[in-house]
Amino acid sequence: MADTLADDENSALREDHGTQVPPGPGLPLAKLIFGRLLPDRYSLLSCSLFVLGVAFSALLLFAELVEGAGLRLLLANRGFTAPVTLALLALTGGAIARRLLGRLPGCRLPATGDLRRAADILARQPDAGAGLVRLGDKQVMFSDCGTAFIMYARRGRSCVALFDPVGPAQAWPGLIVKFIETARKAGCRAVFYQVSAGFLPFALDTGMKCLKFGEQAIVDIENFNLQGGTWLKLRRSVNRATRDGLEFSMLSADEIPAVLDELRHVSDLWLAMHRTAEKGFSLGRFQPEYIAAGPVAVIRMNGRIVAFANILVSSCEGDAYIDLMRHVPDAHRGAMDLLFVRIMERLKAEGFRTLNLGMAPLAGLAIHSRAPLWNHLGNRIFLSGERYYNFQGVRAFKSKFRPRWQPRYIAVSGRGIAVLAILDIALLIGGGLKGIIRKQ
């Protein structure tokens, strides 16, 4: 695995630098003079990266944060003078431009045998969300004992692992160290994205920097019902949807091929409505083989599918995970409420204990005076970044179902600015720059 990463790195370096041809004798005087007066190619490139980086930063969030969220005041309160603030923005902008414009090594797909081994481990562990490994867009690294794995992908100088290691906790320490060392030998930083609080001791033992990145919603479906005044609003929405003719059904893997084209049509309409493309890495995408593995919950109106969600399930401890959630633009306003409530009721009847609704990014960040700068910046993005992602809407929708909110973190190895790792994560999920700046 280390050799694979190192080969990619060396190939990229060879492509970037090429072979230098020594200059011939008798360099003309004019060339010498102009060479002295004009900046060299590297200086021009650095200047361009600086300008583009600052412009890109302003385009994405910096302008909004400086004006609307008071980032300048925030930095001043922490002892940063105006020149230092400008320098920080410039350095960050230049680094961002390098991420966006630099040549990146190609991303290898996992071997079929690795996916089969990972599937065997999935069947013996409780986290249904780990089923995202079946998308096939992430590499897999196994522990030396073969009982655990890390799924990861590479972007820029970051090797990004998704979630906690999958498998028994006793296999984690050696696997985490193996992953960090493999990334280091390839000239990369190791990054763990969306890890639980239980991962933090392992991160601290290996010298990683940890930042809170959001909160994950877990519904205890063993106790779920719509009785009582606290559920009145949701109960009314579900009853109205039922009266208006919406029907729920849960499709098994055998039933999905017959409606796969209809599901794809709903998915395409949803993507067009949101002016976005398919995501990846930590988010599922409409991939026929992935969707057909089932189960898929659907809502029909007059016999036509108007909304659906695919569900990942674990073989032990009764955990389920909702991945894709899509609906047609003109869907009934209660369609998604009905879909989620009926999913929970069905899973409860089948003996499941918990339903993972996924993470609300940048939610629940502490912003007291001792909180890190990242928390203040992330909180302002959460409050002001709706044009790029529906941060507050995601949190509000999931809150309807009274979940337990569990913190989720990123952990970054080595030195450097953690925000660069965060940018690499965003590029991984969005599939590039367009995926970041388009609203989801």
Contact 353, 127 (CB under 8 A): no
Question: Residue 128 falls within a domain, yes or no?
Answer: yes
What's the whole-number average pLDDT of the chain? Answer: 81
Is residue 95 very low, low, confident or very high in pLDDT (cuts 50, 70, 90)?
low
Q: What percent of the chain shows pLDDT beyond 90?
A: 61
**Same domain as 165, residue 254:** no
**Same domain as 314, residue 226:** yes
pLDDT at residue 438, rounded to an integer:
53
Question: Residue 87 falls within a domain, yes or no?
Answer: yes
Contact 410, 213 (CB under 8 A): yes
Report the C-alpha gap between 367 and 360 in whole angstroms.
Answer: 17
Question: Residue 201 falls within a domain, yes or no?
Answer: yes
Q: Which of 58, 81, 103 is the last residue of a domain?
A: 103
Residue 226 has pLDDT above 70, yes or no: yes
pLDDT at residue 270, rounded to an integer:
96
Q: Which of 103, 130, 157 is the last residue of a domain?
A: 103
**Same domain as 323, residue 230:** yes
Phi first, then psi, for residue 221 (nearest 5°) are: -75, -10
pTM: 0.77
C-alpha distance from residue 90 to each of 22, 350, 427 (Å): 35, 55, 20
**Same domain as 191, residue 236:** no
pLDDT at residue 312, rounded to an integer:
96
Residue 157 has pLDDT above 50, yes or no: yes
**Alpha helices (runs of H) in 274-334, residue ranges in sequence order:** 288-292
50 or 418, greater pLDDT: 418
154 or 59, greater pLDDT: 154
**Same domain as 298, residue 190:** no
pLDDT at residue 327, rounded to an integer:
97
Domain coverage including residue 157: 112-214+367-381+405-437
**Same domain as 338, residue 228:** yes
Question: Residue 293 falls within a domain, yes or no?
Answer: yes
Residue 114 has pLDDT above 80, yes or no: yes
**Same domain as 279, residue 160:** no
Question: Residue 13 falls within a domain, yes or no?
Answer: no
Query: Of the given ranges (44-58, 314-328, 389-403), which has the lowest mean pLDDT?
Result: 44-58
Instruction: State mean pLDDT over 303-317.
Output: 92
- Return the CATH number at 235: 3.40.630.30
Reported as a single tens digit per residue, the pLDDT across 117-137 is 999 999 899 999 999 999 999
Beta carbons within 8 Å of 409's beta carbon, 6+ residues apart: 192, 194, 195, 196, 197, 199, 200, 203, 210, 211, 212, 213
Query: Of the given ranges (55-59, 206-210, 267-271, 405-409), which has the lowest mean pLDDT?
Result: 55-59
Question: Residue 33 falls within a domain, yes or no?
Answer: no
Phi first, then psi, for residue 157 (nearest 5°) are: -105, 25
Residue 427 has pLDDT above 80, yes or no: yes
Reported as a single tens digit per residue, the pLDDT across 259-304 is 999 999 999 999 999 888 899 999 999 999 999 998 999 999 999 9
Is residue 104 very low, low, confident or very high in pLDDT (cuts 50, 70, 90)?
very low
**Alpha helices (runs of H) in 19-140, residue ranges in sequence order:** 29-37, 41-57, 63-64, 71-77, 82-101, 112-122
Q: What's the one-letter identity of residue 423?
A: L
Residue 258 has pLDDT above 90, yes or no: yes
pLDDT at residue 69, rounded to an integer:
39
pLDDT at residue 113, rounded to an integer:
85
Residue 23 has pLDDT above 70, yes or no: no
Question: Residue 197 falls within a domain, yes or no?
Answer: yes
Q: What percent of the chain shows pLDDT beyond 70?
A: 72
Query: Of the given ranges (82-91, 320-329, 366-375), which has the lowest mean pLDDT?
Result: 82-91
**Same domain as 231, residue 190:** no
Residue 36 has pLDDT above 80, yes or no: no
**Same domain as 312, residue 252:** yes
Pairing of strands 304-313, 319-327: antiparallel
Contact 319, 352 (CB under 8 A): yes
Question: Residue 228 falls within a domain, yes or no?
Answer: yes
How many domains does the structure of the chain reveal?
Answer: 3
pLDDT at residue 51, rounded to an integer:
45
**Same domain as 352, residue 237:** yes
**Same domain as 228, residue 193:** no
pLDDT at residue 93, rounded to an integer:
53
DSSP secondary-structure letter at 279?
Answer: -
Instruction: State mean pLDDT over 27-41.
Output: 44
**Same domain as 433, residue 371:** yes
